Amino acid sequence: MTVKDTQISSYKTLPKSRKEAIAQGEMYFFTGIPCRRGHLTKNYTTSGRCAMCSREDTDATLEKFKIAKMNRKKNNSEHLTVG
C-alpha cells in the first residue's frame, strides 16, 4: 500500500458530501471524485474547495509576495546607492 493509498483510505471515514460534513460539524469531506485539477483528496467543508488546490494556490501567492519583496529591496537599494 502506497502513501497515497493510505491517505485515501483514511479519507473514507470522512463524510461523503459537504451537506453531511456541515451537519456533522466536520472540517473536511471526501467525495471520492477528483477535483477539476485531478486531485483525489479531501475538501474543505467551509468552501467546498479541494485541500490540494487550496494549498497550491496559497503556495503560488506566497511565491509572488516573495518575488515582489525581493524586487522592492533591489529597487530600494538602487535608489539609495550614491553614484
pLDDT digits (tens, 9 = 90+) for 14-65: 999 999 999 999 999 999 999 999 999 999 999 999 999 999 999 999 999 8
pLDDT at site 2 = 62
Cell 491517505 found at? 7
CA-to-CA distance for 30 and 50, rounded, in angstroms? 9
Q: What is the dihedral of CA 76, 77, 79, 83, to 10 degrees?
A: 180
Model confidence, pTM: 0.71
Comparing C-alpha atoms, which of 11, 9, 12, 29 is closest to residue 20? 29
